Amino acid sequence: MKAIVVGCGRVGSAVAKKLTKSGWDVTAIDENEEALARLGEHWSGGFVVGHGMDVNVLREAGIAEADAVVVATNGDNTNIVVGQVAQKRFGIECTVVRILDPARAELYSTLGLRTVSPTSTAIEVLTEAVKSCSVKPLRAPAAAS
């Protein structure tokens, strides 16, 4: 199975490595050549320097044969567009897009994009972490509106 990871920052590079470990054939894309270093010395997968909005870069990374695409650049709107290009133009059903803004993540998931919002996850986890402390709140919880 072949996967393409667009955006090889902290998140993208780690996803690329994890997928490789689980047996995927992974090619990472990043604008910055130095991002290759994040994949470690023994990176055996592919790496293409370029912008994910550039269809030629996606093609060079092998999007025509890809089974999955992960989009995790540092720009929400870039991710939204690249994700839709992968999904609609190249017909890759398993396209997963990181969107930091919870509002846009929710909206685009209703529009049929598989979105992941780390911010929403962080909000949930942080709130739960506070609730799990053995400290009593001053007021009774507000009724759900």
Tell me which residues touch other proteins (CB under 8 A): 53-55, 75-78, 80-81, 84-85, 88-89, 101, 103-104, 107, 111
Which residue lies nearer to other proteins by CB, 18 or 88? 88
Helix (H) or strand (E) holding 101: none
**8 A C-beta contact, residue 52 and residue 28:** no
CB of 88 to other proteins, least distance (A): 6
CA dist., res. 103 & res. 52, Å (int): 23
Which residue lies nearer to other proteins by CB, 77 or 121? 77
Which residue lies nearer to other proteins by CB, 88 or 131? 88
CB of 56 to other proteins, least distance (A): 9
CA dist., res. 20 & res. 60, Å (int): 19
**8 A C-beta contact, residue 64 and residue 46:** no
Output phi, psi for 5, to 5 deg.
-115, 115
CB of 104 to other proteins, least distance (A): 7
CB of 77 to other proteins, least distance (A): 4
CA dist., res. 51 & res. 31, Å (int): 5
